[in-house]
Amino acid sequence: MSGGPVLVGVDGSASSLAAVETAAREADRLGVELRLAHALAWPAAHVPPGVPPWDPVGTGVRGPVGSALTEAERRARDAAPGLRVTHTVLLGEPAAVLETESRGASLTVVGSRSARRPAAARSGSVAVRLAAHGGSPVLMVRGRPDPAGPVVLAGDHGHLGREAVAFALAEASARGTDVMVLNGSGTPEGEEPDRPDDTLAAAREEYPDVTVHRRRVRGGTRRAVVAASARAQLVVIGTRGRGGFAAALPTRVSRAALRHADCPVAVIHAAQEAP
């Protein structure tokens, strides 16, 4: 991960406040600042008479926006005292502006529900877009994590990736828990499968306190990940590096986890190899 801030979307909802608390702890763990981002959609047709359409924050929305950011900052400082916290108000659709802002972030954190989107359309949709197009790993705070459960690690098409492995072990070490690796099948034809033991062995040298368990998945990895999430603190999905049309699409395992898991989900892309 880069040394950029942890970015978190704030909209005043209970879900986004839970995301702020998680993001604060992640920023504290990574030793970076926390950046609170409020996305303000402002259709020109709804601009009050006499108000410049490029300056909506100068109108009556300043109060609600300020209240949301003030409460978010309070929650962040309660979760991680001494953390450096900054904030910004961005004009545009939440997923689009967070996608742009994520390019300089170490991690982007979002809630599973938005206060301003219909329930049928909102669950996981921002996180799915960020997982496909964002410029940083994404962590969606959702469900009810089991505080006694492990960190579950899985990969799309059997791919874990060093970045996802390192993230999962760092999280498990910070939480004082184990890592459960779901070894699935289904590597696409023509691609070499990962060698999980090699990837894990290198990362475990840095986290000797973490115990790693392996479970062979028979059948669909998507179902196994969602089922395991009911008894987990966190699910970490490793995906292939970005590049090309395929990398611009959220994979089935990532999409299923982001939309149906019973605990928070992190999607970590492997670094793209130089040609």
**Could you tell me the two tokens for 174?**
């910070």
Compute the distance between CA of residue 223 and CA of residue 226 in angstroms, rounded to an integer. Answer: 5
Residue linked to tokens 């496909």: 132
The pLDDT, as a whole number, for residue 246 is 41
Q: How confident is the model at residue 49 (pLDDT cuts 50, 70, 90)?
A: low
Phi, psi of 38 (to 5 degrees): -105, 120
The C-alpha angle with vertex 98 and arms to 137 and 17, in degrees rounded to 5, equals 85
User: Could you read off the pLDDT of 77-115 as tens digits, one per residue?
Assistant: 999 999 999 998 888 888 889 999 999 999 999 998 654
Compute the distance between CA of residue 242 and CA of residue 240 in angstroms, rounded to an integer. Answer: 7
Instruction: Say how many C-beta atoms besides its own lie within 10 A of residue 243's C-beta.
Output: 12
Which domains does the chain show, CATH number per domain? 6-141 (3.40.50.620), 151-269 (3.40.50.620)
pTM of structure? 0.83
Instruction: Say how many C-beta atoms besides its own lie within 10 A of residue 118's C-beta.
Output: 8
**Could you tell me the two tokens for 186?**
């289904």
Positive or negative, the Cα torsion across 250, 35, 169, 270? Answer: positive
Instruction: Say how many C-beta atoms besides its own lie within 10 A of residue 216's C-beta.
Output: 10
